[in-house]
Amino acid sequence: MTKLAPLKPSWFLSDFEPENCIYLTRADPDAAMWLPQVPCAIDWMACGPRTMLGTLGRFVLPAATTPIGAQLIEWTGLTDETRHVFYTASSDCLGEAEKLSREGAVLTCQHYLPRWPDYDIRWRTPPSLLADLNNKAKLADNVPQDLTPKRRIVARAALLEEIEKEKTPFALKAGTPLSSGGAIAACVCATPDEARATAKTFLDVKDPDASFVIETFYPFTQTWCANIGVYEKGRIYFGAAQQVLDDARKQTGSLNGGPFTAPDAVRDAALAIAEIAFDAGYRGIAGIDMGITEDGKLLAFDLNFRMTACTSQILYHDNACARVNAAVSRNCAFNFEAPLAEVVGKLEDIVKQGVFVPLSSFDNTLRDEVTAGCRLWGLALGADADETSDVAEKVGGVCS
């Protein structure tokens, strides 16, 4: 089998960031009530694909940098030049960031950290600004008016009363300074009963600072996550991946290339939002969720000022597809009950063929709360969406 050519992203983030920049990607477990609650979820979020960072630093767990995982990276032609800052507990991260700041580093946080004022840290973007930019209740402050969905903000005390006034379907979202993700803080309420149940679930979350957004439901014909870079060197449009949604309109992945390529209007809108964020003082990468309504109007319905699940897909898509004459990539994440070594051994052929590009791995057995299994992130490639689905199914079934 011919050895794969080296694989690089279209851009390294180190091309735009200061060379002393270190990414603190860990969410605070004490402030993670709007993030997925499954075991290891916060660990996985902190330790996803990183090779696109280039030579920047990144906080990382040993479970994501194992020799077995490095074998996958080698087979696929990637080079991990990231400067690893290892930690074992979340409580260590801010203290280590303070120490690195004293040594001359500047820190980029990916999630709002409530205890940040207690530490003397040189932040690339102030955590308080990050909280405002990611707060779903403040979307209209950071998006041009013509791109903003119709919405209203409701206080916690009034939520149950206000949803009774709203005709379903509508979108209900939690506006909070804390990190959110995995569709935990947003839901399309199709019926009054579903709206009441969602509101009660939101109110059960112990977040006294949360307000709530009642937003018009738009049956989008297509939705994308556009990735932008907001830097002194310029505002960069990296690209966009089309979101794959299930019947409940929850995202299950994304597709890029061919018929899933975003129109120019998505690029233009993303760059307009990038300028607003730049003027506010944000520096770094962001993902902007947008959709096309049935009457052709483009709206931006969610802002994520951090690396997103499709950032690595967007940055690697062109070069990964070119190596194997593919047109479409599918962003995938896999959870296996089998040990990482067993999974990697069974993936060797498909990885060396280049149709599955593993970008990161995580050995669950190295974390106290989980005793078995592993997680992989990667791209399934093919001539069309069906081929990428076949590749993804093959990868997911290697240990069945």
Q: Which of 64, 109, 57 is nearest to 85 (CA)?
A: 57
Backbone angles phi, psi at 140, to 5 degrees: -65, -20
Residue count of the chain: 400
List phi, psi (to 5°) of 352: -70, -20
Question: In the chain, how many H helices and how many E strands?
Answer: 10, 16
Give the tens place of pLDDT for each residue, 196-234.
Answer: 999 999 999 999 989 999 999 999 999 999 999 999 999
Interatomic CA distance for residues 393 and 349, integer angstroms: 15
Which whole-number Å values give the CA distances from 39 to 322, 371, 372, in the listed order?
37, 11, 11
Cα gap 158→309, rounded to integer Å: 34
Nearest to 49 by CA among 353, 379, 390: 379
The H or E element containing residue 280 is helix 264-280
Which pLDDT belongs to residue 93? 94
Query: Of 3.40.640.10, 3.40.50.720, 3.30.1490.20, 3.30.565.10, which CATH number belongs to 150-216?
Result: 3.30.1490.20
What is d(CA 348, CA 4) in angstroms, rounded to the nearest whole number? 12
CB atoms within 10 A of CB 394: 14
> Cα(first)–Cα(last) distance of the chain, in Å?
26
Q: How confident is the model at residue 31 (pLDDT cuts 50, 70, 90)?
A: confident
| Global confidence as pTM | 0.95
Task: For the chain, give every domain's residue range.
Answer: 150-216, 219-304
**CA–CA gap between residue 256 and residue 213 (Å, rounded):** 30
DSSP secondary structure of 360-398: EEEEGGGSTT--S-EEEEEEEEESSHHHHHHHHHHHHTT
Using only C-alpha atoms, the chain has a radius of gyration, in whole angstroms, of 21
Check: CB of residue 72 under 8 Å from CB of residue 373. no
pLDDT in tens, 355-397: 999 999 999 999 866 668 999 999 999 999 999 999 999 999 9
Query: If you search the block for the tokens 């074992």, which residue do you land on?
Result: 88
Confidence band, pLDDT 50/70/90 cuts, at residue 12: very high
Residue closest to 365 by CA, chosen among 62, 60, 47: 62
- Per-residue pLDDT band at 29 (split at 50, 70, 90): confident
> What topology is assigned to 219-304 in CATH?
D-amino Acid Aminotransferase; Chain A, domain 1 (3.30.470)
More confident position, 48 or 392:
392
Q: Which of 27-36, 146-155, 270-279, 298-307 has the lowest mean pLDDT?
A: 27-36
Q: Is the fold of 150-216 the same as that of 219-304?
A: no
Matching residue, tokens 């009441």: 196
